């Protein structure tokens, strides 16, 4: 279950990714969200660990997708996938 801080970080991360196309990846955007919200690195460590475990053994969503039957997706589609994954995390964990 997400802590209140983790929920706030994911909400802010989703907002940043929706508002700014240069925020393409979840983990770097989580760091930016933490800075904006005044949280330190320790506040995002659990989320980053969760994401890493979900992608294991791959480092990036696109590698996970290619190796799990999703094929080669466009950058726009992968960005939407990441935003949708954040929404899923907010609902499910």
Task: Specify the 3-state DSSP secondary structure of 15.
Answer: helix
Give 58-70 pLDDT, tens digit per residue: 999 999 999 999 9
pLDDT in tens, 9-36: 999 999 999 998 888 899 999 999 999 9
Is 0.85 surpassed by the pTM of this model? yes
ω into 69 cis (within 30 of 0) = no
Can you tell me the distance from the alpha carbon of 11 to that of 86, in angstroms, rounded to the nearest whole number? 8
User: Are 14 and 82 contacting, i.e. CB atoms less than 8 angstroms apart?
Assistant: no
Residue 1: per-residue pLDDT: 84
């Amino acid at each position: 279950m997400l802590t209140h801080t983790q929920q706030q970080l994911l909400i802010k991360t989703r907002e940043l990714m929706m508002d700014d196309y240069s925020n393409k990846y979840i983990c770097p955007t989580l760091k930016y969200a933490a800075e904006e919200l005044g949280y330190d690195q320790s506040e995002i460590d659990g989320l980053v660990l969760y994401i890493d475990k979900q992608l294991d053994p791959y480092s990036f969503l696109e590698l996970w997708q290619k190796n799990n039957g999703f094929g080669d997706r466009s950058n726009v589609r992968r960005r939407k996938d990441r935003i949708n994954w954040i929404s899923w995390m907010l609902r499910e964990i």
